[in-house]
Amino acid sequence: MIQPEIIEELRQIVGPQNIQTDATDIYTYGYDASPEYYHEPDVVIAPANKAEIIEVLAICRREQLPIVARGSGSNLSGGTVPIAGGIVMTFTRMNQILEFDQQNLTLTVEPGVITKAINQYTASAGLFFPPDPGSMQISTIGGNISENSGGLRALKYGVTKDYVLGLEVVLANGMVVETGGKLTKDVAGLDLTQLMVGSEGTLGIITKAILKLMPIPEANKTMIATYRSMEAAAQSVSDIIAAKIIPATMEFLDQVTIKAVEDFAHVGLPTEAAAMLLIQQDGHPREIDADIATIEKICRQGDAIDVQVAKDEAEGAKLMAARRTALSALARVKPTTVLEDATVPRSEIAPLVKFINDTAKKYKLYIGTFGHAGDGNMHPTCLTDLRDKDEMKRVHLAFDEIYRKTIELGGTVTGEHGVGLAKLAYLPWKLGASGMWADAAIKAALDPDNILNPQKLYGRSEVAVHD
Amino acid sequence: MTKRSSDHEIQQAFDTQMNRDKLLQCMRCGFCLSTCPTYIASGFKESHSPRGRIALMLAVANGQKEPDEDFYRTIETCLDCRACEAVCPSGVQYGELIETAKQILIDHHKQGVKEKVIRSLTVRGLFPHPGRLNFMADFVTFYQRSGLQKLTHLLHIMSLFPASLRAMEAVLPDVRAYKKPVDIRPFAADFPEKKTYRVAFFEGCLMGSMFQHVNSTSKVLLQLAGCDVISPAKQICCGALSDHSGEKALAREMAKKNIAVFEAEKIDFIVNNAGGCEAELLEYPRLLADDPEWVPRAKAFSAKVKDVTQILTLTGFDQLALQMPPTKITYQDSCHQQNVFGVAQEPRQLLQAIQGVTLIEMEERVGCCGSGGIYNMVEPTAANHILDLKMAKITALSGVQRIITANPGCFMQMRLGVKRAGIDEQVQVQSITDFLLDAVNYTRTQNQQAIIAVQNS
């Protein structure tokens, strides 16, 4: 429990309007968008600038007080749940776009800017920020950088780390580092930018970011292909890549997901199909036409029931928007949604999806799978009920098996959601003892007091057994 | 009753009355945050967001959190504008959840003294009784006409009332003008002979008394569009104010009465012009869900309810070559019309069809003005804050001359808004039907002839 004098000190730093201590207020900062983790913070503060953050960190070091940086709390790993109590720091007052540099195609922002607002801001100049996580309409850029968020366009455009050129970070000891810059090439020192991206708020507090922008492609075309089996769809994905075509987006939806999305969005998705691919290509109109024609041919040869090309960009946009609702649409089916992000080399999608199906049957679970097929990032989503203890146990047992299989197939335990609390137990499977040691050594060097988002990402080293 | 035992009873009520399945439907994705006026106005406090309120309701129901004054405050300060529902991909029925929570607080007398006075004055004493409303409208007319208005200002008599009522008093429409129905005769020559639909007009309590002018304008427009318009005499208030402020039993009785009245008429549609009423009429099946005899009747009733702008676009009113002198306008949606009733496109279609009119949309079109039924009376500070944020968006638009509104609550609130923003000299607030009739009148004087009837266009 935090001492009243410390609360008072924090109040002095951020101002009385920007601190929350009442029971009702702080209760609502104990969760994120993952279903199973909850812990109340002692206090919630919204600093105005890095000077205030430096002062706050000094108190945290002195008092050994945990501090968790939180964007919009839309993350899916328990990563912003203040599991050790202490301070939750929000960035609702650090939400300005600082500079739009059209010479160097960069945008400098504060961490609290909503991701979608970046694209709204740069669109009229014909530029865009490619990473597009499913939560972009509410997630903050600071959160995206800390989680190294992916999205639908990752296959062709990469993920958040590919678009962060530089950062300003307050370290645990109060020093401010400025990493990178408006530079494409920069090999001076270690690549601290990339070290910070995806570090889940455990190595420093991001106060500024220089983002790389890209020209908005001239045009795009969207198509859907439906299949009688999930394996046939997964095979088409591999065949398309093997034909040396890199679509901007290649999304996979299984039947459970198709039905849920159609029920919500009413865009005419084929609910009788076992699986569906939603493919979008962008670029020059002539190249798009050629690519889509080739993809269409591959899908038909790959035993697709039906292939349909959206008649214009508006129809395509509607299909893409419907896909964005996949997760939340599934959430309507049952009270609790356990969303995972098993990721394999794309050549292994078919065996992974088959294994997920078999495992769901074995444990009598309802699992819908959708995901970014082009990059092998699958979201097996278990629809269950937190109140059913027996079923929740089976959920964990099933995912233990699914993640073992994922590793076996050369994959990883999280493609884009982050480790947070949810993947701590699986982390050693991916990193091994040496990897765990190296990560922990970096953490210990940069945050010796372990005040920054403790108990996440490095946490435990023993392997979880759910029994 | 000690405060502690009362908190305990409230916890028990949440435990037994809140629908946990519906609370758990929220997966905390946070999509609702950016649309919530109270979240924004609170300086982005999670406890004042839909996601936060749902988490708190669940925690109180489960006994994981004590209900306290801050908890009651966050429930009370919800506008019930339902903007969150419109963007919720998981289909959380937030309106129902928050209304149950509000009902529990009312049942346990948790609302403040001021709210009780306003509630008993309006929800129980006034809106269900057309006679009393008319009396009040007459009183307001008298009050304005008699010069008493000036006198009371001088004597500060209004200072006896809560500040919120004083503020609303300052922006009460000129009831003489608004209560007086528009003269239908000059338009009668333009009513097409061949009728399109037979519609029954749902008058509404506020609209039927203090805003009779707007209702009669709507009726003239409908008749210009070829509709045969009737107004069943025994209809009463839709019950929205009772329903949303937790007076469910009263709301149910009002719903039944209206269903019975309109069932007796041979009509194609039931037409209204106020988002708050329309949303409530649409929800009659939910309101009467526990009453098997009434469910099919409520469904049949709700299926017929349309906004006046829907009927106008349906009958091709937007095809008339209406004109206006060059006018820049912006449109303030009614939350319930947009988020619950689902009408946002039709009014814009009608406005944009008028030659000379430029519709400039506000940044972030979605957004409550803070009116929220009787919210601006019971939560004046929060309502004014939300209103000022809204006015900042309007003053950011250059050269807007009129704010067109969809609802009497929004109309009054926006009048207060332009006053607070100091732009009431430059910017006129008008209901959409009044604006459309202005366009009809202007077109007639320009053409020196009757506008071409819909059927002949």
Query: Can you give the pLDDT at residue B70?
Result: 94
Question: Is residue B177's pLDDT more than 70?
Answer: no
Rank A201-215, A447-461, B164-178, B385-399 by mean pLDDT and report only the highest. A201-215
> Residue A92: its chain B contacts at CB < 8 A?
43-44
Query: Is there a domain that residue A416 lies in?
Result: no
Chains A, B: CB contacts under 8 A, how many? 98
Query: Is there a domain that residue A397 lies in?
Result: no
Query: Can you give the pLDDT at residue A329?
Result: 78
Question: Is residue A195 domain-shared with residue A265, that is, in the same domain?
Answer: no
Predicted confidence band of residue B450 (pLDDT cuts 50, 70, 90) = low
Question: Is residue A240 domain-shared with residue A314, that is, in the same domain?
Answer: yes
Question: Is residue A15 domain-shared with residue A83, that is, in the same domain?
Answer: yes
Structural domain including A312 reads 217-323
**Which of the two residues, B130 and A64, has the higher pLDDT score?**
A64
Question: Is residue A433's pLDDT more than 60?
Answer: yes
Mean pLDDT for the stretch of residues A20-48: 96
Query: Can you give the pLDDT at residue A333?
Result: 83
Chain A closest-CA separation from residue B76 CA (Å): 14
Question: Is residue A170's pLDDT more than 60?
Answer: yes
Query: Can you give the pLDDT at residue B218?
Result: 93
Question: Is residue A269's pLDDT more than 90?
Answer: no
**Which of the two residues, B445 and A181, has the higher pLDDT score?**
A181
Distance, in Å, from the CA atom of B383 to the CA atom of B164, rounded to the nearest integer, reads 9
Question: Is residue A148 domain-shared with residue A192, that is, in the same domain?
Answer: yes
What is the pLDDT of chain B when averaged over all its residues? Answer: 82
Question: Is residue A282 domain-shared with residue A261, that is, in the same domain?
Answer: yes
pLDDT per residue as tens digits for the range A69-86 = 999 999 999 999 999 999
DSSP, collapsed to helix, strand or coil, labels residue B384 as helix
B158 CB-contact burial (10 Å; exposed 0-12 / middle 13-18 / buried 19+) = middle
Question: Is residue A231 domain-shared with residue A306, that is, in the same domain?
Answer: yes
Predicted confidence band of residue B102 (pLDDT cuts 50, 70, 90) = confident
Out of A22, A137, A328, closest to residue B90 by CB: A328
Out of A17, A92, A331, closest to residue B90 by CB: A331
> Residue A139: its chain B contacts at CB < 8 A?
30
Query: Is there a domain that residue A438 lies in?
Result: no
Mean pLDDT for the stretch of residues B384-409: 88
Mean pLDDT for the stretch of residues A201-214: 98
Mean pLDDT for the stretch of residues A234-263: 89
- Count how many domains chain A has: 3
Query: Is there a domain that residue A336 lies in?
Result: no
> Residue A22: its chain B contacts at CB < 8 A?
68, 70
Query: Is there a domain that residue A395 lies in?
Result: no
The CATH number assigned to the domain holding A143 equals 3.30.465.10
**Which of the two residues, B455 and B167, has the higher pLDDT score?**
B167
Q: Give Cβ neighbours of residue B12 (< 8 Å, ≥ 6 apart).
A: none
Chain A closest-CA separation from residue B54 CA (Å): 10
Question: Is residue A178 domain-shared with residue A239, that is, in the same domain?
Answer: no
Q: Do B30 and A332 touch (CB under 8 A)?
A: no
Out of A90, A105, A132, a domain closes at A90
Predicted confidence band of residue B142 (pLDDT cuts 50, 70, 90) = very low
**Which of the two residues, A229 and A87, has the higher pLDDT score?**
A87
Question: Is residue A199 domain-shared with residue A105, that is, in the same domain?
Answer: yes
Query: Can you give the pLDDT at residue A466?
Result: 43
As a whole number of angstroms, the longest Cα–Cα distance in chain A is: 71
Out of A288, A323, A358, a domain closes at A323
From B186-190, B265-269, B280-284, the region with the lowest mean pLDDT:
B186-190
Question: Is residue A111 domain-shared with residue A209, that is, in the same domain?
Answer: yes
DSSP, collapsed to helix, strand or coil, labels residue B332 as strand
Do B287 and B243 meet the contact criterion of CB atoms below 8 Å apart? yes
Number of H helices, E strands in chain A: 15, 18
> Residue A72: its chain B contacts at CB < 8 A?
30, 33
Question: Is residue B175's pLDDT more than 60?
Answer: no
Share of chain A above pLDDT 90, in %: 78
Question: Is residue A408's pLDDT more than 70?
Answer: yes
**Which of the two residues, A140 and B6, has the higher pLDDT score?**
A140
From A260-274, A292-306, B1-15, B244-258, the region with the lowest mean pLDDT:
B1-15
Out of A18, A135, A332, closest to residue B25 by CB: A332
Nearest chain B residue to A72 by CA distance is B30
The 3-state secondary structure of B260-299 reads HHHHCCCCCEEEECCHHHHHHHHCHHHHCCCCCCHHHHHH
Query: Can you give the pLDDT at residue B156?
Result: 39
> Residue B52: its chain A contacts at CB < 8 A?
28
Query: Can you give the pLDDT at residue B157?
Result: 37
Closest to B126 (Cα-Cα) out of B200, B210, B202: B210
The CATH number assigned to the domain holding A282 equals 3.30.70.2190
Query: Is there a domain that residue A412 lies in?
Result: no
Question: Is residue B127's pLDDT more than 80?
Answer: no
Query: Can you give the pLDDT at residue A464?
Result: 42
Question: Is residue A116 domain-shared with residue A36, that is, in the same domain?
Answer: no
Distance, in Å, from the CA atom of A206 to the CA atom of A53, rounded to the nearest integer, reads 10
Question: Is residue B163's pLDDT more than 80?
Answer: no
> Residue A46: its chain B contacts at CB < 8 A?
43-44
Chain A closest-CA separation from residue B75 CA (Å): 11
Mean pLDDT for the stretch of residues A29-52: 96
Share of chain B above pLDDT 90, in %: 45
| Mutation for A interface: B10, B20, B22, B24, most A CBs within 10 A | B24
Tokens of A417: 């959601």
Query: Can you give the pLDDT at residue B26?
Result: 92
Query: Can you give the pLDDT at residue A462?
Result: 45
> Residue A137: its chain B contacts at CB < 8 A?
31, 34
Out of A90, A119, A143, a domain closes at A90
Distance, in Å, from the CA atom of A386 to the CA atom of A377, rounded to the nearest integer, reads 25
| Mutation for A interface: B35, B46, B363, most A CBs within 10 A | B46
Q: Do B30 and A73 touch (CB under 8 A)?
A: yes
DSSP, collapsed to helix, strand or coil, labels residue A251 as strand
Question: Is residue A417's pLDDT more than 50?
Answer: yes
Q: Do A92 and B44 touch (CB under 8 A)?
A: yes
Question: Is residue A108 domain-shared with residue A164, that is, in the same domain?
Answer: yes
For residue A172, the 8-state DSSP code is T
Mean pLDDT for the stretch of residues A153-173: 96
Distance, in Å, from the CA atom of B347 to the CA atom of B430, rounded to the nearest integer, reads 13
Mean pLDDT for the stretch of residues B203-225: 84
Query: Is there a domain that residue A183 lies in?
Result: yes
Question: Is residue A188 domain-shared with residue A291, that is, in the same domain?
Answer: no
Mean pLDDT for the stretch of residues A418-435: 94
Distance, in Å, from the CA atom of A234 to the CA atom of A228, rounded to the nearest integer, reads 12
Query: Is there a domain that residue A368 lies in?
Result: no
Q: Do A25 and B24 touch (CB under 8 A)?
A: no
Mean pLDDT for the stretch of residues A409-438: 94
